[in-house]
Structure 1
Amino acid sequence: MPEVTNELMYELLKRVHGDLSEMKFDLQEIKRRMTGAEEALAGVNRRLDRHDERLERIERRLELRELAEPQRPYEPK
């Protein structure tokens, strides 16, 4: 078994420090990308909400909910 010296301990600590620095950088990148994904998802949700509101207004204007009659399913030719 090799002798544990101050130099060996120092080299090991330098490696650990380098690994931690790399992990810190990677974690920052993951956080940045996650924030971007959350913002994109929020944008999609806002668009869907607007489409839902618009569809509801259209249905109310056309009174489709009250006057809807049973119809055959659409069958493309």
Structure 2
Amino acid sequence: MVEVTNELMTEILKSLQQRISNIELLGVEQAQGMNAIRGYAGSIQADTTNIYGVLSRIDQRLDRIERRLELREMAEPGTPYSPNA
């Protein structure tokens, strides 16, 4: 059987220490990656909210335009306004 010496134990412990350091580094990199993904998700959510705001304003403008056309239709004699025409 192999005799365990202090030098052998020291080498094994150094190797383990290096491997643990590498694992810790990977953990830090993973955490940074997750933070980046969280940032991207927040940006996407903000962009989506802005798009919904723009669509809402466009919808309101379209409603006002349709109301004006209906008012004009009532004021003018002739063929009525038809949105499908």
TM-score over 0.5 (shorter chain) = yes
Equivalent residue for 1:40, pick from 38, 47, 53:
47
Which structure's CA Rg is the greater one? 2
Structure 1's unaligned 5+ residue stretches are 72-77
AA aligned to 2:26 is D
Number of equivalenced pairs: 68
Task: Determine what percentage of the aligned residue pairs are the same residue.
Answer: 21
Residue 38 of structure 1: how far off its partner (Å): 1.1
Q: Give the corresponding residue for 2:4.
A: none
Residue 25 of structure 1: how far off its partner (Å): 0.8
Q: Give the corresponding residue for 1:75.
A: none
Looking at both structures, which has the greater relative contact order when contacts are Cα pairs under 8 Å and sequence separation is at least 6?
A: 2
- Counterparts of 2:13 and 2:47 in 1: how far apart (Å)? 51
Equivalent residue for 1:26, pick from 25, 33, 44:
33
TM-score, normalized by length of structure 1?
Answer: 0.73
